[in-house]
Chain A
Amino acid sequence: MTSAQLIQIIKSLTGESLRQAFASWLFPLLLIYCGLIITLAGTIRFTNIPLASDYESAERAPLEEAKRLGTEELKKTGVPLIQGEIQILFGSIKIPWVKFRENAVNYFETLLVFFTSDAAGIIFTLIWTAGFIPEFLQGFWWNMLRIRPISLTLLLITKTIAIFLVVLTYATILISGTWVALGFATGVWEGNFLWAIPILLLQFVCFFPVSIFLGTWTRSTTVAIFGSIAFWFICWLVNHARMNLFLSDASNSTSDLSSWFIHFSYWILPKPIDFSIFLSDLMGTMKEFPPPQSWSNAYELGKVIPKLSIVSSLISSAVVFWIACIELNNPSKE
């Protein structure tokens, strides 16, 4: 098979997967979900919150210190006292804010990232796509595909790439839409927020093979949904448990065997918390809005190695995908 033919197959299966995505009963929910997030970002308004870039120094006066100095003295220092307010959803939610506008944007980016490419984002994406493979493998249509001169493994690979492209399209629309809405609403254009697009795709590449395997094994959308979410939680728990091992008082309370087991499980499974930390770091929100202490502690100790973490996560997903291919070629599935 030539590369042109392969690209043609991926193109036609991407079109098929996009239509499958639109036809999914979850698609209206997905639109509502995207709409809510983008609306949330677009309705943020700041009152009396200055830009740090308008001042020579990015320092601001703490409230207590400002009271002690008095307004006139404070003006002489050139350091602003911020007593602003953030309004969300057309003023229905009001949050007092004492930092700069850039910090406020970072705060919202941290919040929005949770819904777009972190825990909630990836779980929602896994639920949405879980039916793609079981539907693809259903009776008549699957037989129609099986009587083509292409190996079943290559068929599954091309369909998987097509689904990745669909998710990339979704991630691009959702995250860049959120970014544009946030930019227009706040006047702060933080390009680093767009790192959420590749990170969501990367997480999806790591977790979706479990959904593929369950789909090929059981041909059931329900099993694929619940199985892939359960797998994500297991990976999250293992990742979290390993982070806790690096806290100073953890060594006394954890046995060698369980410690070894946690480390071993960590290395053979995808690592959702590591991805969260990388994203915070890439977005530059790590210092301002740090993750839980055990996570940031492990990161500062150098126990989270980005490249190694990504590579080992991808290897584990490749192994699961390979098992799914074996299952697909299993003659008892006739």
Chain B
Amino acid sequence: MMDCALKFENVSKTFNAGKSNEIRAIANVSIAIPVGATIGIVGPNRAGKSTFLKLALGLLKPDQGSVYRLDSQAANRSTLKQTGAVLELPFFPSHLSPRHILSILGSLSGISQEQLPNLISTALNKVGLEDRAKQSVGEFSRGMTQRLLIAQAILASPSLLVLDEPFEGLDFDALHKVRNLLADYRNQGKTIVIVSHDLTEIENLCSHIALFNNGKVLRYDSTDLWRGVSNQPFLEQAIMRACLQLNPSGFTL
């Protein structure tokens, strides 16, 4: 029985080590994300949030420590079959259409030829791109590209979703669709890890919230503990308080 969808054990990652522009993106992070949880990862720019996700996906290798994904070392690529991801700064090859992109990514994910057309239609339908399936993505707006990005993440119905700024650039309609889609995933007991600056979405969607700053986890608790007795939007104030306790000299979101 799998306990953790993601587990970091004393993980560190430094870029440009030994150079003048050295950046310690992740510093001795240990965190366990249980199966079925919906985790919001918040923090200021350059807190290490995106690096955390890239380490989780095996796109980066840690300098120190171990990363486990679905009970296997993150370097084990077979667990990527049950993982869907949204990465930041999407830029798909402009000569391809959404259908081609999903066909390529679906094939690489091991989806069979028989299942693929239906799954592609379903995924495009869920994000509202069904009528743009054959259009070149070179003609897509930022919001449409983001929809496509989410469609490819959910294509194979993965048990773990790792999302970097999934709400970025979405219009009201798309935001509504994605919000419902993620709520469905959460209700199906799948694990979702979301990095976002949209604190309202994180408050409403997540069962747990982790606050990152300077490559470290400052606080990782259930959303109920973060909320306390508040009936109002709470996260921004709670983050301020958490940071000031640890860094009284000041902290700006």
Contact = CB atoms under 8 A, between A and B. Distances in A.
Interface in B101-118: 103-105, 107-110, 112-113
B251 interface: no
Contacts of B110: 1, 5, 149-150
A150 B108 CA distance: 7
Interface in A1-37: 1, 4-5, 8-9, 11-13, 15-16, 19-20, 22-23
B132 to A, nearest CB: 17
A8 B107 contact: yes
A144 interface: yes
Given A5-B112, A19-B100, A150-B77, A144 B94 contact: no
B246 interface: no
B108 A148 contact: yes
Interface stretch (B82-90, B189-197, B198-206): B82-90
A125 B77 CA distance: 35
A contacts with B: majority SS:
helix
Given A16-B93, A20-B95, A334-B61, A140 B87 contact: yes
A150 B113 CA distance: 17
A137 to B, nearest CB: 12
Contacts of A23: 93-95
Assign chain A's interface to a size class.
20 to 34
B96 A16 contact: yes
B112 A140 contact: no
Interface stretch (B36-44, B52-60, B211-219): B52-60
A38 to B, nearest CB: 25
Contact of A19 (B79, B81, B96, B152): B96
Contact of A135 (B80, B93, B112): B93
A12 B107 contact: yes
B105 A148 contact: yes
B91 A147 contact: no
Contacts of B92: 140-141, 144
Given A16-B96, A149-B81, A140 B91 contact: yes
B79 A149 contact: yes
A27 to B, nearest CB: 10
B90 A140 contact: yes
A293 interface: no
B15 to A, nearest CB: 9
A82 B83 CA distance: 75
A67 interface: no
A16 B109 CA distance: 16
29 contacts: A4-B112, A4-B113, A8-B112, A12-B104, A12-B107, A13-B104, A15-B100, A15-B103, A15-B104, A16-B96, A19-B93, A19-B95, A135-B93, A138-B91, A140-B87, A143-B59, A143-B87, A144-B152, A147-B57, A147-B59, A147-B80, A147-B83, A147-B85, A148-B77, A148-B105, A149-B78, A149-B80, A155-B108, A334-B61
Given A4-B113, A23-B95, 18 more contacts: A8-B107, A9-B108, A15-B103, A16-B93, A16-B96, A20-B93, A138-B91, A139-B89, A140-B92, A141-B91, A143-B87, A145-B108, A146-B59, A147-B59, A148-B77, A148-B105, A149-B109, A150-B110
